[in-house]
Structure 1
Amino acid sequence: MKTTSHIEQDMQKAKATGRDTRKVVLDRSIRANVPLRKTFVQAPPGAASRHGPLKQFVTGRDLRGLKAYLMIVAACSNGDNGWSTRHDSAVWARMMDIQTTATDQSARTGAWRTLRRLEDRKLITCSRSGTMITVTLLREDGSGRSYDRPAGKTGEDLFLQIPATFWTKGHDEHLDLPALALLLVIAREKPWSAFPAEKAPEWYGWSADTHERGLKKLLDLGYIERMKTFTKAPLAPAGYTGVYRYQRTAITRPRKPRKATQTTTTKKSAARPSRTKG
């Protein structure tokens, strides 16, 4: 009977997980929240189609690709390396959790193929040298234009924010594709907005059933909350109509920047003239 040595057991215990890898990547980006242009989810009013690039992930059932793309935005959007990030293909595979169900070589291949799908959608460019893969962000709207940090000054430049804790605390690991898509949809809008399922095909490009399943999953996980509001409707049988409205819970809301109270106090103390006894 084949047995596992203590050395092999210790090595497995020491091996980094996908969450470990994502945490280090986010720590290096030094961001409490990750910005993502709203045009990724939905095109601005007046566009020929309201569908954003997110539609392609949902209709293509590409959960791995969507998670990988959001992590790339998180890793690159601080601009320290020209909107690029570079890792060994095995690290990319671990970041995407491919190594849990594939051999090392298959995982490396799977990571490269995932990145190439994102490149085909004009969301990134990628290149490799040996086992190293470099990824560079492009504009979130899928236009293929160069990336720049969103400032929120125009309709096409408005952005939503995802807290880094979404990844570092493993909240992303509980989401299926409809739920992750709907989380981005809700993050795009103001708190307590309505998201009618019958509008999903027109507004986002996926089915009403997918829309409803995403909302239900988020509610079950406690990532969003809802309330029902009522409007007077004299011609309705009941005399009123009701609609559900949703917002993110504290788990998935952007983090507020910490106040540097200690630093401020220290500076004030340093600026205050010292008193001497006469």
Structure 2
Amino acid sequence: METSDDFWRRNAESPQSNAEGPQIEQRQAAQQAKTRAGGARSAAVRYRFIARGGPEEDPPPLARLLRGGGGKGGAARLRLYLSLLWLSRNDDAPRFEYPAHQWARLLGFDSPDTAGARRVQQALRWLDEQAFVRLQHRQGASSAIHLLSDAGTGRPYQAPGLAMKRLAVKAQREEHLYVQLPAGLWTKGWISDLSGAAVAMYLVLLHERRGEDKTVWLSPRIGRERYDLSDETRRKGLNELAQHQLVSVRRRPVHQGLFEDHFRSRNVYELNPEDLDRYEPGEQHPWF
């Protein structure tokens, strides 16, 4: 019988790609993980993971994951936790038993069998300590990972789509509202190419682009008060997304009263989530 190790290591035929070496290994791991997850086309990420529900609330989980240990540790935690959400699509109380080196391959970490696996283990320990997962240690085997709520409550995870269907009262459903993060983040290799700041700002833009107007204006004040992200994280993430052509940026005039002497404008951002599924890092997008 094929083990999970065999499944992830087996050479799978992958679509044509410009990737080489470790990038190919990452794409193959992502395609195999997607198959194991029933072909999940997106990760469901709750609004409450991304943003505060109100001005008096604690920092949202997204900011906590990024800041917990700083530097690459925050980015590794965010990438790993989003991967758990992706592979948990439409599954309540999911449990994973994959070894650390398999997660390291999925995330595109260098030296996945050694240093990359240690990065995964460090991230898992932090997620366990902060009640985003519960680790079940097993003798002679990898720890089982039990996913906990992405709202940061420490309760067992419930798939938001399923939870909303069970609830008849609109007010109760609001805590399960979510954005859909395309699977291309993994299958096209963006998960290993984008920084933690860029992934965070992508989630923020998904959260902000509700309603008919899909353009987003994000002030420094909103970045701090609603998302608890620093001005540096906001600027770095948005600039990186623009450089990768994942967002388009244009200037929009700010409405002013009559007889104003000075013209004012601000940056607005337009996000096309389908591009994560269409293009790999380095590919030119025809509409740019």
The equivalent residue for 2:183 is 164
State the AA in 2 paired with 1:93.
Answer: A
**Following TM superposition, by how much is the alpha carbon of 1:97 offset from its aligned partner in structure 2, in angstroms?**
3.5
The 1:236–1:137 alpha-carbon spacing in structure 2 relative to 1, beyond 3 Å, is: farther
TM-score by length of 2: 0.73
Unaligned stretches of 5+ residues in structure 1: 1-12, 255-278
Report the equivalent of 1:49. Answer: 57
Partner of 2:106: 95
How do 1:139-154 and structure 2 match up within 5 A? 139-151=149-161, 154=173
Shift of 1:49: 2.6
Mapped to 2, the partners of 1:238 and 1:146 lie a distance apart of: 57
Matched, 1:175 2:194: yes
Which of 209, 217, 222 aligns to 1:199? It is 222
Structure 1 moving runs of 4+ over 3 Å: 104-110, 235-241
User: Per the alignment, in what secondary structure is the counterpart of residue 34 of structure 1?
Assistant: strand
- Which residue identity is paired with 1:123? F
Deviations 1:147-182 (A, max 9, x none): 111135532211000111221011222211211110
Across the two proteins, how many residue pairs are aligned to each other? Answer: 238
- The equivalent residue for 1:112 is 121
Matched, 1:187 2:195: no
Distance 2:261 2:141 in 1: 65
* CA 136–216 in structure 1, closer or farther in 2 if over 3 Å, else same: same
Which of 127, 142, 145 is 2:136 aligned to?
A: 127
**Of 43, 49, 52, which residue of structure 2 is paired with 1:40?**
49
In structure 1, distance between residues paired with 2:117 and 2:99: 9
Could you tell me how far apart the structure 1 residues matched to 2:219 and 2:35 are? 37
Instruction: Give the match for residue 244 of structure 1.
Output: 267
Q: TM-score, normalised by structure 1?
A: 0.75
Residue among 26, 30, 37 paired with 1:22: 30
CA RMSD of aligned residues (A): 2.8
Q: Superposed, which structure 2 residues align to 1:65-76 within 5 Å? A: 65-76=77-88
SS, match of residue 151 in structure 2: coil
Given that 1:192 and 1:245 are in contact with CA atoms closer than 8 Å, whether structure 2 keeps it comes out as: yes
C-alpha distance in structure 1 between counterparts of 2:58 and 2:265, whole Å:
26
Name the amino acid aligned to 2:200.
A
CA distance in 2, matches of 1:233, 1:218: 30
Cα distance change of structure 1 residues 220 and 238 upon mapping to structure 2, 3 Å threshold:
farther
Q: 2:146 aligns with which of 129, 136, 139?
A: 136
Once the two structures are aligned, what percentage of the paired residues are identical?
Answer: 22
What runs of 5+ residues in structure 2 fail to find an aligned partner? 1-20, 165-169, 279-288
